[in-house]
Structure 1
Amino acid sequence: MRTSIATVCLSGTLEDKLRACAAAGFDGVEIFEQDLVVSPSSPEQIRSLAAGLGLTLDLYQPFRDFEGVTEDLLAENLRRAEAKFRLMNRMGIDTMLVCSNVATATVDDDAVAAAQLRRMGELAARYGIRLAYEALAWGRFVSDFEHAWRIVEMADHPNVGTCLDSFHILSRRWDPEAIEKIPAEKIFFVQLADAPELSMDVLSWSRHYRVFPGEGAFDLVRFMGHLVRSGYDGPVSLEIFNDVFRQAAEERTAVDAMRSLIRLAERTSIHLQEEGNGLGTMELATLPGVGEPLGFNFAEVKAGDPEHIRTLLYQLGFTSLGQHRTKQVELWAQNGVRMIINSQQADGMSPGISAVGLDVPDAPAAASRALQLKATPVTRRSQANEEVLQVVAAPDGTEIFLCQAEPAGPGWMSEFGGGTTVPAPGSITAIDHVNLSQPWQHFDEAVLFYESTLALSPRPSVEVPSPMGLVRSQVMHSSDGAVRIALNIAPLVFDGAGDGSGYPQHVAFACSDLVSVARTAVARGLEFLPVPENYYEDLEARFGLDQAFLATLRELNLLYDRDADGEFLHFYTATIGNVFFEVVERRTGYEGYGAPNAPVRLAAQYQGSRA
């Protein structure tokens, strides 16, 4: 599959955009007219730069408001078009996107539109240019891709074909199956965009809220399936109008874009194989198949001064298994739950979650897949006799260790010593979930990363009120719930929320007896995150709890939730730096996260930050 991307997707100058696209691995680009108009580089210089970067210039766009006009206006439109054809020759671009008329069409007659497109095609042929006619979803007379194809068919000119844009088709709920009825040689170009489900006018939806494939709600796999079966084998390009993407670093956005196309190609290939009714001629990417993560291997907190983190872990029943023999890294454990405290190159650094280790069925395959999906590899210093671990960086910078699942426990544990040799046999039994804050402008990127590289599935996102604004949260999880990673967008008013680094994150531990863990923690001096009395009065009103049980919740600052599947008890520690811990007890089939209690936690943390 030949990949392309419109320069309108990215921030920066045209030259910056070309370099970012090449670095991300795209085959070509669409030149958005405004990017060229404002560039100080000549068309010849842009052509030379693209060639030097190994990029083809696949499309010049957009040419607006051509057909369905009076004869006088048509003459002006042809003059305008010829000027662009000469420009395209200078750039070496042979295809122009012609959008269905929105502003100047006054003749609602397909025969007239076809005749005018044919005249444009005749002019374009003199310059070796092809015209890809696209139905805009808000076109005055032509808004349906099948309608656009009928006009192209009537125009009956070898230089006039159609452009298919997934947004214009799927936003209007048109059935993409009709793509297969269009001759492949008359599909001159294809543009892809995903989008969230929103209730708004389609123009605003298109101009501001498009996202990359896999980051929205459109069924692009089915769309691509029909496209492949049509026999089309030209560029598959991204055209994303998104205010956030055009403010973010172009290199990062380009990588996110390329990852989305690679993942879409893989999903389309699987879809076509499952349907078994034709694969077409387009070559689709294949990636190493990986199973879901089997569980958490460890979580890591990095801190310049780790004393407070050590104290919290001790109060929760963890024991120290000593320090790494060559690094400033400590291992703490309870049963099979492992926590790393990393003090390397951390002078003056506030505590925060820096890494998560995941047990996977095949670590080399998982690492290979992540790298092919454009994940950034992370190299950690190790000695010859130390275990080599596969590590990649998540979009927020958290290091993800892909650890080979070992029934007897990870081999790297033997590299630690000097502490207690046997983990404490307390009530904490697993890492239940890890909560990571995300920069607001890269939230969709993070969801796609965890879904595509780690085979985690997104649960529906929720919004939780806090004194600082709404917090959007989305959980990525394995099918059995052994791995749960909650992604939160920090409120913009929060100090440091521009990159997500200042917003608290946490590790939640699962236990078999929360009250026992809480009493042990109290005995060891733990100060819980305080819960107001108003909460317990509301709890009593909502659930009618036994008074003795309610008294225990009050005494230990425990929180409670219940749904049709079971009960949920949990408590939080105070925040140290940028991290805190949660302990949870799930009873029977409860699968949530105590969302009704999140505002209590957020309000208490807000009060604590102001103390």
Structure 2
Amino acid sequence: MSLRTSIATVCLSGTLTDKLHAAAEAGFDGVEVFEPDLVASAAGPEEVAALARRLGLTLDLYQPFRDAEGVTEEEFADVLRRARAKFRLMQRLGVDTMLVCSNVGTATIDDDEVSASQLRRLGEAAAEHGVRLAFEALAWGRYVDDYRRAWRIVELADHPAVGTCLDSFHILSRGHDPAGIEEIPGEKIFFLQLADAPALTMDVLSWSRHHRLFPGEGAFDLPAFLGHVLRAGYDGPLSLEVFNDTFRQTEVLRTARQARRSLTWLEDQVARLPDPPVRADGPTRLPDAAPPTDVDFVEVKAEDAGAVDVLLRQLGFDFRGRHRSKPVRLWTQGRARVICNEQQARDWSPTLAAVGFEVADPAAAAARARLLQAPPVFRRTLAGELDLAAFRAPDGTEVFLAGPADGDAAWVREFEDGEPPADAPLLTGVDHVNLAQPWQRFDEAVLFYSSVLALDAGAGQDVAAPTGLVRSQIVCSADHAVRLALNVAPLAFDHPDGFPQHVAFTTDDVLAVARRARERGLRPLPVPASYYDDLQARFDLPDATLEEYAGLGILHDRDGAGEFTHFYTETVGGVFFEVVQRRGGYEGYGAPNAPVRLAAQHERSRRPGW
């Protein structure tokens, strides 16, 4: 059994009825009704209530009710008038709990006794209508901005219809210690609202109104927060209240599913805490599935992938044959495997379409993905062919799950008429895969890869490009065996093949790979001479080394842990390749070199043959 779930209608785009349908289809148990959504709805309260019943949704909270406490007695008379009108409306809706926010605008009395007295009288009026009040400390409340003070006021009010609402954003954004939540009796926590957020330095109101995220997409420690709430004895729904400019303008059902996935992930994380709360109804633990242990293959899809074949041969890949039943070719070198797929690719320029991962237990990993509502991918498989579990990531990339391989993967045997290896392999595997994300799907992608594949999301950064800033974030396994770089192109970027994506291969001798590739006709991405002047100033490399780097298009970086030496191929369609050599404990991606690469690609994209 899972904990009950809810979502505030403010999280979603569309009309109120659109939001109710999406919440139900995504698997939520209930919703919070955001007052502006009801006010603007063509459906009246009775129609909304009836629709919710038909969809199997409960209406869990009506919100917000503002400026209710800390006011003069004259002003409080108007508070009671407003509240009674809302209580009657809630009766028509069938909602029994109202969110009361701490006063941010009209409060003139900084006195807990006054606030408690006013909440008590408000509670008396609410009880007459069968309504409860959940008092919440807003992070920007004029006097009450701490959940602990809000709870003290609720204690002083001492009324059965008055409790508190805990909101993770208001508590964690202010740096308040959530451990004190466990001192609040569970029956007096009337409601719980959850939101994640990126680590930003800005005023808390703007942060809250525009930059909240679903659990798992930001920097807050929500598993620990929810653990405190559940250990206090809270037995209501886990409800999402996320104000985000992107979510309010993206397709409603997709966002609802993204939101529901975040709560499934969060429950699993709470269940894995060292001291998980013990409840009969959860939190539910997902099937144990370790992160991928390696990249099994990458797939480039194109109507004509011949130019990709040429690049791979220049890099030293061996042609391993054609698939026995599909227009698909396989190239390998060491543990690096690249599939060129021309099936159902009419009018496609080369695109990075799929990534296969080796996982310890494919069945458990697939079960985890299904519970997280990862959209399945179906490909035609004939008798005798390996049927790999596959799911579609938010950007459309297909993600395949394969068992660990000792040598060649089992599916490699489906490729026939290949050539014997021509040379000893210099490439050893895949270092990382760089995937471009639509701007509106970036946060969803971070959650997808961190939840479905159990990868860790690192800190994000922006990289300068000629058309603007590229937003970038790494998700990787703890041992760095699997690394994905998720990038969002600047809005000004405009190219018919899209923002280029790439695969970086590992080697123990990047210079040998570059020399051999040059001998086979490879044209590396041109690097300006000024880059090498700067490199000399940064690292004082020998002149002979700099000369060779410049001749081969090699770039270099160094930090306190080690070194990173690499080069890029030209871009074919929307794909290019990188070869990297890591020395010591260097774990970065050559970030100082990324603007150079982006500028060079921008220059080349304006010429024929990009």
Report matched runs for 1:338-487 at 5 Å: 338-422=337-421, 425-487=424-486
- Matched residue, 1:603: 599
CA RMSD of aligned residues (A): 1.6
Structure 2: how far apart are the matches of 1:566 and 1:172? 38
Structure 1: how far apart are the matches of 2:452 and 2:381? 25
Kept after mapping to 2: 8 A contact 1:333/1:423: no
2:23 is paired with a residue of what secondary structure?
helix
- Matched residue, 2:541: 545
- Matched residue, 2:569: 573
Tell me how far 1:71 sits from its aligned partner: 2.6
Structure 1: how far apart are the matches of 2:340 and 2:508? 25
Amino acid at match of 2:571: T
2:71 is paired with a residue of what secondary structure?
coil
Report matched runs for 1:113-128 at 5 Å: 113-128=115-130
From the superposition, tell whether residues 424 and 415 of structure 1 become closer, same or farther in structure 2 (CA, over 3 Å). farther
Tell me how far 1:314 sits from its aligned partner: 1.0
Amino acid at match of 1:353: L
Tell me how far 1:144 sits from its aligned partner: 1.6
| Pair 1:505 & 2:501 matched | yes
2:272 is paired with a residue of what secondary structure?
helix
Report matched runs for 1:49-198 at 5 Å: 49-198=51-200
Tell me how far 1:335 sits from its aligned partner: 2.4
Structure 2: how far apart are the matches of 1:533 and 1:250? 49
Tell me how far 1:226 sits from its aligned partner: 1.1
Instruction: Return structure 1 stretches of 4+ with deviation > 6 angstroms.
Output: none
Kept after mapping to 1: 8 A contact 2:317/2:333: yes
From the superposition, tell whether residues 154 and 480 of structure 1 become closer, same or farther in structure 2 (CA, over 3 Å). closer
Kept after mapping to 1: 8 A contact 2:144/2:150: yes
Structure 2 unaligned blocks of 5 or more: none
Tell me how far 1:424 sits from its aligned partner: 5.2
- Matched residue, 1:275: 275
Tell me how far 1:331 sits from its aligned partner: 0.8
- Matched residue, 2:532: 536
1:237 is paired with a residue of what secondary structure?
strand
Tell me how far 1:406 sits from its aligned partner: 2.3
TM score, norm. by length of structure 1: 0.96
Kept after mapping to 2: 8 A contact 1:232/1:282: no
Structure 2: how far apart are the matches of 1:196 and 1:181? 28
Kept after mapping to 1: 8 A contact 2:318/2:420: no
Amino acid at match of 1:508: A
Tell me how far 1:91 sits from its aligned partner: 1.1
1:519 is paired with a residue of what secondary structure?
helix
Aligned pairs, number: 605
Report matched runs for 1:187-266 at 5 Å: 187-266=189-268
Amino acid at match of 2:539: F
2:13 is paired with a residue of what secondary structure?
coil
Structure 2: how far apart are the matches of 1:37 and 1:488? 39
Kept after mapping to 2: 8 A contact 1:231/1:282: no
1:275 is paired with a residue of what secondary structure?
coil
Kept after mapping to 1: 8 A contact 2:191/2:236: yes
Amino acid at match of 1:596: P
From the superposition, tell whether residues 24 and 423 of structure 1 become closer, same or farther in structure 2 (CA, over 3 Å). farther
- Matched residue, 2:493: 494
Larger mean Cα displacement after TM superposition, 329-338 or 422-431:
422-431
Amino acid at match of 1:224: L
Aligned mate of 2:26, from 24, 27, 52? 24
Tell me how far 1:553 sits from its aligned partner: 0.9
Structure 2: how far apart are the matches of 1:358 and 1:295? 6
Q: Deviations over 1:374-414 (max 9, x none)?
A: 21111111112211101011111111101111214221111
Amino acid at match of 2:336: V
Tell me how far 1:232 sits from its aligned partner: 0.8
Larger mean Cα displacement after TM superposition, 125-134 or 589-598:
589-598
Amino acid at match of 2:270: T
Kept after mapping to 2: 8 A contact 1:166/1:193: yes
- Matched residue, 1:6: 8
Structure 1: how far apart are the matches of 2:159 and 2:564? 67
Kept after mapping to 1: 8 A contact 2:303/2:350: yes
Kept after mapping to 1: 8 A contact 2:335/2:430: no
Amino acid at match of 1:189: F
Tell me how far 1:12 sits from its aligned partner: 1.0
Structure 2: how far apart are the matches of 1:311 and 1:465? 31
Structure 2: how far apart are the matches of 1:496 and 1:183? 58
Structure 1: how far apart are the matches of 2:138 and 2:340? 55
1:141 is paired with a residue of what secondary structure?
coil
Structure 1: how far apart are the matches of 2:154 and 2:333? 69
Structure 1: how far apart are the matches of 2:460 and 2:36? 36
1:396 is paired with a residue of what secondary structure?
coil
Kept after mapping to 2: 8 A contact 1:118/1:157: yes
Structure 2: how far apart are the matches of 1:253 and 1:405? 34
- Matched residue, 1:522: 518
Kept after mapping to 1: 8 A contact 2:374/2:392: yes
Tell me how far 1:455 sits from its aligned partner: 1.9
Structure 2: how far apart are the matches of 1:335 and 1:170? 47
Q: Deviations over 1:211-251 (max 9, x none)?
A: 11122222212211111111111111111111111122122
Amino acid at match of 2:548: T
| Pair 1:284 & 2:286 matched | no
Structure 1: how far apart are the matches of 2:208 and 2:585? 41
Kept after mapping to 1: 8 A contact 2:272/2:285: no
Structure 1: how far apart are the matches of 2:111 and 2:478? 54
Percent identity between the two aligned chains = 60
Kept after mapping to 2: 8 A contact 1:58/1:95: yes
Amino acid at match of 2:533: E
Amino acid at match of 1:516: A
TM score, norm. by length of structure 2: 0.96
Kept after mapping to 1: 8 A contact 2:350/2:572: yes
Amino acid at match of 1:340: I
Structure 1: how far apart are the matches of 2:246 and 2:369? 25
From the superposition, tell whether residues 423 and 329 of structure 1 become closer, same or farther in structure 2 (CA, over 3 Å). farther
Structure 1: how far apart are the matches of 2:362 and 2:421? 27
Amino acid at match of 1:566: G
- Matched residue, 2:292: 293
Structure 2: how far apart are the matches of 1:200 and 1:539? 36
Amino acid at match of 2:469: L
Amino acid at match of 2:367: S
